[in-house]
Structure 1
Amino acid sequence: MSTVPIFMRKLKEILRLKYGCSLSHRQVAKSLSISPSVVSRYANRAAQMGITSWPLSEIWTDAALNREFLKTRVKLKASIPVPNWSVIYKELKHKTLTLQLLWEEHSQRNPGNHYSYNHFCRLYKAWLGCQKPSMRQHHKAGEKLFIDYCGPTMNIINSSTGEYRTAQVFVAVMGASNYTFAEATWSQGLEDWVMSHARCFEFLGGMPELLIPDNLRSGVTKACRYEPDLNPTYQQMAAHYNTVIVPARPYRPKDKAKAEVAVQIVERWIMAKLRHEPFFSLRQLNERICELLTDLNQRPMRKQPGSRLSQFIEIDKPALKPLPITPYIYTQVKKVTVHIDYHIEVEKHYYSVPHSLIKQKLEAHISGELVRLYHHGECVASHPRSSKIGAHTTIEGHMPIAHRKHDQWSPHRFEKWAKDIGSSTEELVIKLLQSKRHPEQSYRVCLGLLNLSKKYSPARLEAASRRALHTGIMRLAGIRSILDKGLDRQPLPEVQLDLLGEIEHKNVRGNKYYH
């Protein structure tokens, strides 16, 4: 059960990145850390099913996608001769030669049994990557935003106690222009991490195509060179901004060299200048960081013309995608299990879901005001967020029918039902409800008493209740006995005088003791 949501999330990401973000198969594969051939296979299968746009039609639920995509199996091709990549590498050093020409020559030498051009290029690049050459990265305008945290922290003084609290420094830099953003947050936790991204995008005034973060726990749940798993909250934020996350490989600092240099510059030109200044709030610290950051971005660069700001305005800013119309609201995404009482737990508060989902795994989307619960991509429940610890928020429609009926009982409902039968029955029910510490303890007795009107008749039950009140009988078995023996049809017995009632002695009980 647990593998379906992961498979479905990656499948939807493939379709979103291909049709929603217009990325190539290679770019999609790099973003999701999967094979380009997998992207091609699922893209071809989607085209066969008529899926050529994003967002998906309402007919393509998670269950439908899972069923249709798993119907087909791809047959492996026969063995194809592998080109001599070292020879191709040497030939490519000539100015006039291209991979396209070399592939055509290779296909002519192996007619009917050769790789496609795309696969030929992928194999060559894979071989080239194994040679580990040191190469200079070239960044396209508006393409990549590199993200990391500084190693050192900043101290903030508590004005009441004089104690120090450390703040982390978030850094992001555009690949082409080196335009830099920095701010201080209390932690590197998930909410601080995600909201720093949102403020960075507002600072840039647009969206880059790719986000290149470090393998921080808040961003990457499972750090892996080949298949890193992104935190679902971080991935949900990227989907809102319609951008792509490509985490740097672990222990590969060259993948995020821009971020490493930007962190070093922020540490030297901002944090070092502030080392002797006292700060008493996070806001005060960020105001000073903003001042020095403006100076940093406007300072002339040594090896490139202009400043970071002028380069950004000229190169990156025109290529950035526009920000979404609706502002981003922090939404935490976590997996939850439905308990046996058809409730799930979020921050020690319990929210109901349809009882048919008991013991199922759901995905909770927790925002500031709402808690939404999803099962296989479909929203099954939505509740206002509550901060009451240990309390329950329950929707009546989520309850089984038996629980729903039981939950509808109340003292007022029993009294109204008894009143419809007769005044004596109403009086008897009131006495039964008042006989216990909690009225709920008398519900079963009252229900059993009132149901006698179905077996006998309301008139007979009213007469039996009148006789029970007259004789002091308060047990259900006694009232049923009156009806079974027909005593309700007989006149009420005369009240016998209690000759011992006036005598007060511990051994004298009186005639009411035996009722």
Structure 2
Amino acid sequence: MLTSASLRNLTHTLSLLIDKAVKDGYERTMLTSAILFGFISQRIVARNVGCSHQTVGRITQKLLAMALPLPNFDEIEGKTLLLVFYPHYKKRINYKRRPPIIEMEKEALVSPKKYRLKLMTMYLLYRAKEPATALSYSRYCALWAQHCKNSKLEFRITYQPGEVLFCDYAGIVASYTDRRSGKAVKLYMFVAVLGHSKYMFAYLTKNLTAKAWVEGLVKAIHFFKGSPAVIHFDNAAMVNISGLIAELHEQAQVFSRYYNNVCDTSRPLTPKDNPNAEKQVQHIQNRVLLLLRREKFYSRDEANAYLIKKVEALNHEPMQKTKVSRHQNYVEKELPALNGIPEIPYQPYDERFKQKSSAGYTVTYNTHEYSVPYKHRNTYLTLQVSGDTLVVLHELQVLVTHQLSNEKGGRTILPTHMPPNHFAESNKNETEFIKWAESIGESVVAIVKQQYEGMKSHSSRPAGKKCIALKKLAKTFGKEELELGCAYALNQEMHTPSDIQLILKSRIYEDEEEPLLAPLIASQQNIRGKSYYEGFHHE
């Protein structure tokens, strides 16, 4: 038999059909079922109302047989309406005990879930009290399911453009084939979705570590061309200690500071706190990931290119309810509301530790020394290694970034990190002195090179002192005079600064009668010479 609600809907539908027939010229007293259902079939009416087509035919016959005018069925109470069409209606009395709904609701709230009584156990306890009045197990479960359906209550949160980004990992694993070994390498699908526009992004990572989470988030933020105010994820590798305000992994903290956003977490064991990510993960799994698993890839980049292309195609599809694509919502509403991001993407670190800088304003990594600004000497600094880069931080501020060197025991010192006196001392080398000499002339360059002949180091201190003496001569006598004096000294095989000083004081290079083509010593006939003593000819 019909319920009062279904009967009310049916009488309303039949009244509309009668009115339509009368408007088409039929006499009210001459109406039949064939005329009424010439516009629409009984089965369609039955399907819309929720009853059988036979019931529709019976109620129609009773309605047409009623005296005119018909009562207003919308104003009649449910029980009275049933009595109009079913005069002998009598509610059947059921002596079976109803399920203990209140106790069952309390049991459903027990946490964790594994400590709850199962439905079968609760039914056996219910039946044991009085078996004669107990419902069957199927009816017991049906009434409980109906109660849960009727009492279901949802609170849907709406998110403003640029407010939050949800992210999660899929449970299904993808893979690619390594060309060298031929083995399958597992890949894990990271999914990010913007809360307002539901714009999606997916990326395959090597594992599920905190570094992989951050790698996926960085790719997502730069794909979206902006950063939301909040990043929401569940209690996975990004969380050290869960709770109302979770203690985040250091990777998450550094990432959050770099992009100036807030990281929020779900409550433990509550996937419903992250419904946007859970739903989009399922959507991408069904539409893309299952097909991706059947393709053949030979690198992670190939697999990611395929995945991003397919997910972007999903973003351009109209959504079922709104008939507007995710991409359109993103471009029109979400993108203008996102915060700006740095041009250089954040790189998750491989290592992060603290170290006290030395008095020589250096820190050491893998036996190689790297300089820091001298003002931060003898200070505890944070070293962050990312790939082939070493980043040195002090109180969250980046001091310097070095490219890692493979030289064991070597030193990488930047001139800008030196104090002024150290910088001046470091410039006392062959290269710098030659640069200075080139600004004067070729003869001065040759004299500078003579000072470093035979020296094992380009920063030789004795040679540097002699070059400093040459600089003083340039200040005293002038650059042009120094060039002439050095040219004369080279011709006479005189290389020391003291010899050049004598030449400049005497100005002997100005004497036109003095031969300059041969050394002075060679013109003396009474000198035995070097060869005589090397041959032991002396008495």
TM-score bin (small chain): 0.3 to 0.5
Larger radius of gyration: 2
Structure 2 length-normalised TM? 0.45
Q: Which has the higher contact order (CA 8 A, sep 6+)?
A: 1
| TM-score, structure 1 as length reference | 0.47
